[in-house]
Amino acid sequence: MSVSIALFTADLRLHDNPVLRAAQRDADEVVPLFVRDEGVRAAGFDAPNRRAFLADCLHDLDAGLRARGGRLVVREGDAVTETCRVAHATGARDVHVAADVSGFAHRRERRLREALEADGRRLHVHDAVTCVLAPGAVTPQGKDHFAVFTPYFRRWEGERPRDVLPAPRAVSVPESAESGALPARSDVADVSPRLAPGGEDEGRERFRRWTSDGVDAYEDRHDDLPGDATSRLSPHLHFGTLSATELVARSRSRGGAGAEAFVRQLAWRDFHRQVLAARPAASYADYRTRHDSWRRDERAATAWREGRTGYPVIDAAMRQLREEGWMHNRARLLTASFLTKTLYVDWRVGARHFLDLLVDGDIANNQLNWQWTAGTGTDTRPNRVLNPLTQAKRFDPDGGYVRRYVPELAATDALRGGRVHTPWKLPAEERRALDYPEPIVDLTDGLNRFRVARGLD
């Protein structure tokens, strides 16, 4: 019996999985392998919310494989060492894995290839598993990647993605493949109290609901903070319990302005991935330096992290992040602009905090969106500053978003409706009775400081 290994990484699904499909085509038996990689922990990327979500995903993947006659093989340790051990124990000659874009993934791929080849085995790396179009699939003339989204999107739209693959009907796993225990969500400490559940079944059901009663209103409502009218599929895309290729195909066949707008957001994901693939250093260094001398202000950064800046919409967003391990996109833009521009604190400080809590925390999307907001990335208007009050009036006019996450403001009668955004306007006595801070910065002062720092005034 010939054996091959499907090494799962950010593609924890049975539907539309080219890695699993190729491993099955290659051999009589396949080892569906996931390694809980100690390198992820060493890289500081092992956040409790993602670990808990991952545990759900692995349980679901195992259940899906068992329903097809197989099972998931889980190992813990160094991904390369463990994969080689499994290959050795089962006699697998070929290992299949998805291509990925981070420096971490590149190093893992290189080490894995070398170790397997030294042992007479082969590594097959599959493109367009964790994204729709592989990095480099479209490029501007004479360059290795697009630095601006709009021209990228024009090319992206014109390409035909690969076909969507069905889930396998049966999976045959060799008995010699020994597995460790599956991790359990309940073993993970410090998880956000309202973290969403993970797993392919959960992701598919969420996408089904989104298609039947969410996507049509997406274009009009995606910025509506209290409406919470985005798909919330980002953790599933991050862990690959849903395939971006399948989401694009199904959204396109449904059609309509909402579905088109949703597909455009998925293209943003590919855009950031092709930037990071070409410029791995963008995960920690400015993509386009503006020669910033960021302020070190631990007091302000702590207030920002804790949701105690005195600006209710910012504080609501930061508390949503802590409570759910997720934050609305408009709120991410507001909080990132507030930290990097109004407070003029280094984008890396904010990106680190997001990575510590976000269940969808993703090197390409997180670091490059932070850079976009800080004006060191791909934004063509790098010095735009979002005013939290103007934005709150526009995207949370009745204050429903703030009241949901900032209970000390929700309980005050005098702060009904949009007045919740300006608690400092309360009469002095009522203001003193509130356990809520004064604004930590004057918005005009913050704006002026930023403009001077960037040499705009």
Least separation in angstroms between CB 53 and ligand FAD: 13
Q: How many CB atoms lie within 10 A of CB 454?
A: 16
Closer Cβ to ligand FAD, 65 or 275, answer by number: 275
Contact (Cβ atoms closer than 8 angstroms) between residue 400 and residue 315: no
Least separation in angstroms between CB 442 and ligand FAD: 23
Closer Cβ to ligand FAD, 4 or 378, answer by number: 378
436 forms part of the interface with ligand FAD (CB under 6 A):
no
Q: How many CB atoms lie within 10 A of CB 24?
A: 20
Among 237, 276, 409, 441, binds ligand FAD (CB under 6 A): 237
Least separation in angstroms between CB 251 and ligand FAD: 10
231 forms part of the interface with ligand FAD (CB under 6 A):
yes
338 forms part of the interface with ligand FAD (CB under 6 A):
no
Least separation in angstroms between CB 330 and ligand FAD: 8
Tokens of 273: 């991935």
Among 130, 211, 309, 369, binds ligand FAD (CB under 6 A): 369
Contact (Cβ atoms closer than 8 angstroms) between residue 313 and residue 391: yes
Least separation in angstroms between CB 265 and ligand FAD: 4
What is the per-residue binding string for ligand FAD in 269-288, x denoting contact by CB under 6 A?
x--x----------------
207 forms part of the interface with ligand FAD (CB under 6 A):
no
Which three-class secondary structure state does DSSP give residue 75?
A: strand
Closer Cβ to ligand FAD, 10 or 173, answer by number: 10
Tokens of 141: 């003339």
202 forms part of the interface with ligand FAD (CB under 6 A):
no
DSSP run (H or E) holding 124:
strand 122-126
List own/partner pairs for 224-231 with CB under 8 A and 24 or more apart.
224/395, 225/313, 225/328, 225/330, 225/331, 225/395, 225/396, 225/400, 225/401, 226/396, 226/398, 226/400, 226/401, 226/404, 228/328, 230/328, 230/329, 231/206, 231/207, 231/262
Torsion angle, CA of 183/184/189/193, rounded to 10 degrees?
Answer: 140
Closer Cβ to ligand FAD, 75 or 348, answer by number: 348
Among 30, 248, 266, 300, binds ligand FAD (CB under 6 A): 266
- The residue range among 55-63, 107-115, 150-158, 359-367 that interacts with ligand FAD, by the rule CB under 6 A, is 359-367
- The residue range among 76-84, 112-120, 258-266, 305-313 that interacts with ligand FAD, by the rule CB under 6 A, is 258-266
Among 370, 395, 401, 405, binds ligand FAD (CB under 6 A): 370
Angstrom distance (rounded) from CA 405 to CA 390:
19
Angstrom distance (rounded) from CA 362 to CA 337:
19
234 forms part of the interface with ligand FAD (CB under 6 A):
yes
Among 360, 375, 399, 405, binds ligand FAD (CB under 6 A): 360
Among 362, 420, 423, 436, binds ligand FAD (CB under 6 A): 362
94-98/3-8 β-pairing: parallel
DSSP letters, 151-206, are: HHHHHHHHSPPPPPPPPPS-----TT----PPP-GGG--S--TTPPP-SHHHHHHH
List own/partner pairs for 246-252 with CB under 8 A and 24 or more apart.
246/15, 246/16, 246/164, 247/207, 248/132, 248/161, 249/161, 249/164, 250/207, 250/211, 251/211, 251/215
Among 13, 113, 238, 348, binds ligand FAD (CB under 6 A): 238
Among 333, 339, 409, 415, binds ligand FAD (CB under 6 A): 333
Least separation in angstroms between CB 371 and ligand FAD: 9
Task: List contacts with ligand FAD (CB under 6 A).
Answer: 222, 230-234, 237-238, 262, 265-266, 268-269, 272, 329, 332-333, 336, 354, 358, 360-362, 365-366, 369-370, 373
